Structure 1
Amino acid sequence: MDDLEFRRMILSEPKLRNKDINDAIQHSEANQVFADDILNLDAKIEQAMKVDVPDDLADRILFNHSAQPEKKSFTKQMLAMAASAAFAAGLIIGQVNWTPLLIGSANASLADTAVEHVIHESPFVNNLDESVSSTQINAKLRPFAYQFTETFPYHVYYLNHCGFGSSNALHMVFKGEQGRITLFVTNIGTEQAIDFNKDGMSGVVVPIEGSSVILVGEEGENIQKIAANLTSIIKPTL
C-alpha cells in the first residue's frame, strides 16, 4: 500500500485498522502521526456534534410563544458548536503534512489544477518507479469509462487515482524524451485543446468525448506529439 492509498483509507474510515493499514503504520512514523491526528480529529468532531437537547424543548416550541428567544439562543449555540468543530479541524489540519488530494478550486482551469498538482506531488512521485503494466493502467482507467486499445508506449513510473479540483482523475507519471511527464485523465470536459506553459513546465489539455486528457512535462518536451500518440489509442469502454 502506497502513502496516497493509506491516507485515503484513513480519511474515509479513521478507525479502520486492517493488516495493510497496521503494516503501513508500523513501518512509517509519518503514517503513525497522520493516523493519530485523523483519529483525534474524528473524535473532536463527534464530540462537537453531541449537543444535549432540553427535555422541555418540544413543549416550548408547541405551546409557549415566549419560547422564541430560547429557540434563537439554542440555534446560536448550535452554530457556535459547529464553528468550534471547524476551528479544531483547521488547527489539526494545519499541523499535518498532507499530500494534497484536492487541489485548486471549482473556477480553476484544468491547466492550473494540473500544474499545481504536479508541483505539490513531485517530491513524492519523482523517486518512484513501479514499472506499471498496460493491464494495470486499464484497470485504473475503468472508473472513467476509458481504456488504451494498445500497449502503453512509454515506461510508466507511477499510477494511481487522485483528487483533481472538484472531481477525480487518473494520475500517471511516465518517461518522456526530456524527463518525466505527468498525465491526468478526468471526466471534467473541455471544449477545445489548450497548450500552456507555466512554472517551467509545458502542457496540453485535450478533450476526449466529454472528458479530458492533460499532459504536463518539462519545457522543451514535445508534449503535442506525445498527446497525439496517446489520444489516438485511448477510447471509451464499450
Structure 2
Amino acid sequence: MDDLQFRREVYADPKSATPEVVAAKKSDPAKLKFAQEVEALDKKITSALSVPVPDDLCQKLILRQSLASHQQLKRKKRLRIALAASITIAIGLTVNQLQFSHAYSSVGDYAIAHANHEAKYFSNNDEARVSLAALNKKMASFNGSFSQSLGDLMMAEFCRFDGMKSLHLVFRGKSSPVNIFVVPQSEHLSYRNTFNNKDYNGIVNSTQQSHVIVVGDKTEPLNQWQIKLQNSVRWST
C-alpha cells in the first residue's frame, strides 16, 4: 500500500484493521507512527465530545432565552418611549410655533381672538382680585403705570400677543367683562383705531412704545374706557 492510500485509509478510520493497513504498519515504522498519532487525535476529539450534559441545562437555556427576550422588550420599550418623547416634543414645537407665529395681520383680529378665548373663564360677577399696586408691578415691564384704578380688575396676567410678551387685563364691564391689552409695537401687525365683529367692538390707543387695546361687547361704552385710560396711564421713556 503506497503512502497516499495509507493516509486516506487511516484518516477515514483511525482504527482501521484491514489486512493492507495492518501490513503497512508492520512493514513501515513511519506509517505506524502516523497511524498512532491520528488515532490519538481521534481519541481526544471523542473525549471532548463526550462532556456530560448538566442536569439543569434545559432550565439554564430557558432562563437565558427569557433574559434575552426581556432585554429585547426593554430595548423596544425604551425605543417606544424615546419615539413618544420625540413626537411630544415635535407637537409641542409645532403648537409653540403656531401660538407665537403671526397668525393674524392686525391687532384687532388678535385682540378679538384673545377675548373669545378668555370669555369662558370669566364672568362679570367674578371677584375683583388685582390691586392697583399689583397691576403697576406688571405695567413696569412696559414702562407704564396707572395713577388710579379704572374699575374692578379681575385679572392681570402676561400673555403672548403675536409672539410678544404683553399684558392682558380683564375688568368688570357694564354687562360682560372688558378686555384691555398692553402690547408692544410690532411691524408685523397693522392696526386701526377701531375694529369690530358681530360680538365685540374695539378701540386702539397707540404710543411710541405700545398699543393699548380695549375690547368689549356691543353694549359697552368703549369711549368712556378710552378716556379713563388716557387720564390714568403714565408712560416713561
Alpha-carbon distance between aligned partners in 2 of 1:197 and 1:138, rounded to the nearest angstrom? 29
**Unmatched runs of 5 consecutive residues or more in structure 2:** 1-77
Distance 1:144 1:92, change over 3 A: closer
Alpha-carbon distance between aligned partners in 2 of 1:107 and 1:113, rounded to the nearest angstrom? 6
Equivalent residue runs for 1:25-64 within 5 Å: none
Distance 1:121 1:191, change over 3 A: closer
Q: Which amino acid aligns with 1:228?
A: I
Distance 1:178 1:88, change over 3 A: closer
Q: Matched residue of 2:119: which SS?
A: helix
1:211 aligns to what? 210
Q: Matched residue of 2:149: which SS?
A: coil
- Decide whether the 8 Å contact of 1:129 with 1:158 is kept in 2: no
1:111 aligns to what? 108
2:180 to 171, 178, 183: 183
Q: What's the TM-score once normalised by structure 1's chain length?
A: 0.54
Q: Which amino acid aligns with 1:145?
A: N
Cα shift readout 1:7-63 (whole Å, capped 9, x = no counterpart): xxxxxxxxxxxxxxxxxxxxxxxxxxxxxxxxxxxx99xx68xxxxxxxxxxxxxxx
2:223 aligns to what? 224
Q: Which amino acid aligns with 2:200?
A: M
1:143 aligns to what? 141
Distance 1:217 1:131, change over 3 A: same
Alpha-carbon distance between aligned partners in 2 of 1:164 and 1:224, rounded to the nearest angstrom? 23
| Count of residues paired in the alignment | 153
Alpha-carbon distance between aligned partners in 1 of 2:171 and 2:160, rounded to the nearest angstrom? 19
Alpha-carbon distance between aligned partners in 2 of 1:123 and 1:108, rounded to the nearest angstrom? 24
Report the alpha carbon displacement of residue 137 of structure 1 after superposing the two structures with TM. Answer: 0.8
Q: What's the TM-score once normalised by structure 2's chain length?
A: 0.55
Report the alpha carbon displacement of residue 104 of structure 1 after superposing the two structures with TM. Answer: 6.6
Distance 1:225 1:192, change over 3 A: farther
Q: Which amino acid aligns with 1:125?
A: F
Distance 1:93 1:222, change over 3 A: same
**Unmatched runs of 5 consecutive residues or more in structure 1:** 1-42, 49-83
- Decide whether the 8 Å contact of 1:191 with 1:207 is kept in 2: no
- For the pair shown, the structure with the greater C-alpha radius of gyration is 2
Q: Which amino acid aligns with 1:122?
A: A
2:156 aligns to what? 159
Report the alpha carbon displacement of residue 225 of structure 1 after superposing the two structures with TM. Answer: 2.0
- Decide whether the 8 Å contact of 1:195 with 1:204 is kept in 2: yes
Report the alpha carbon displacement of residue 88 of structure 1 after superposing the two structures with TM. Answer: 4.2
Cα shift readout 1:197-232 (whole Å, capped 9, x = no counterpart): 114111111102321100000102111221121122
Alpha-carbon distance between aligned partners in 1 of 2:117 and 2:229, rounded to the nearest angstrom? 25
Report the alpha carbon displacement of residue 110 of structure 1 after superposing the two structures with TM. Answer: 0.6
Q: Over aligned residue pairs, what C-alpha RMSD do you find?
A: 3.4
- Decide whether the 8 Å contact of 1:215 with 1:223 is kept in 2: yes
Q: Percent identity?
A: 23
Flag as ranges the 4+ runs of structure 1 deviating above 6 A.
none
- Decide whether the 8 Å contact of 1:128 with 1:157 is kept in 2: yes
Q: Which amino acid aligns with 1:133?
A: S
Q: Matched residue of 1:151: which SS?
A: coil
